Amino acid sequence: MTRPPLPPFTAETAARKARLAEDAWNTRDPGKVALAYTLDSTWRNRAEFIRGREAIEAFLTRKWKRELDYRLIKEVWAFRDNRIAVRFAYEWHDDSGNWFRSYGNENWEFDDAGLMQRRIASINDLPIEDRERKYHWPLGRRPDDHPSLSDLDL
């Protein structure tokens, strides 16, 4: 199985890979998202260490049960060969209606088939008021005409 675009990345293919990842995560479908990772993919997500596609799917299932109405934007920061660095911000609320904007950076490493074999994520959560939200598109894929992180000054 291959997951184009494949390394080595160009500016165009790195941006496309980041947008495809964003689109997949915005589905909030753990099974679909997990297919982008190698069977033995390793993650560091905040202080949690995860290994393997099955563990990734379980992690994402837990995540999206807690992070409700999740909407995400990713933007390429840098790329080289089979690696891409992105920055991101996502908005979500908990089951008490408290809103957050989570900011972070991810370092990605891909195998030759375009599957992610390593993901290192650093994330911080900022409580926000409902009126401070910037992501108002219907749940799912971010519309093409929605501002980027840079456009939103995030």
**pLDDT tens-digit readout, 17-56:** 999 999 999 999 999 999 999 999 999 999 999 999 999 9
Closest CA to 28 of 58, 84, 69: 69
Instruction: With beta carbons less than 8 A apart as the criterion, state whether 106 and 86 touch.
Output: yes
Give me Rg for the CA atoms of the chain.
15
> What pLDDT band is residue 7 in, cutting at 50, 70 and 90?
very high
What's the CATH number for 11-130? 3.10.450.50
Q: pTM of the full predicted structure?
A: 0.97
**pLDDT tens-digit readout, 60-79:** 999 999 999 999 999 999 99
Give residue limits of the domains in the chain: 11-130
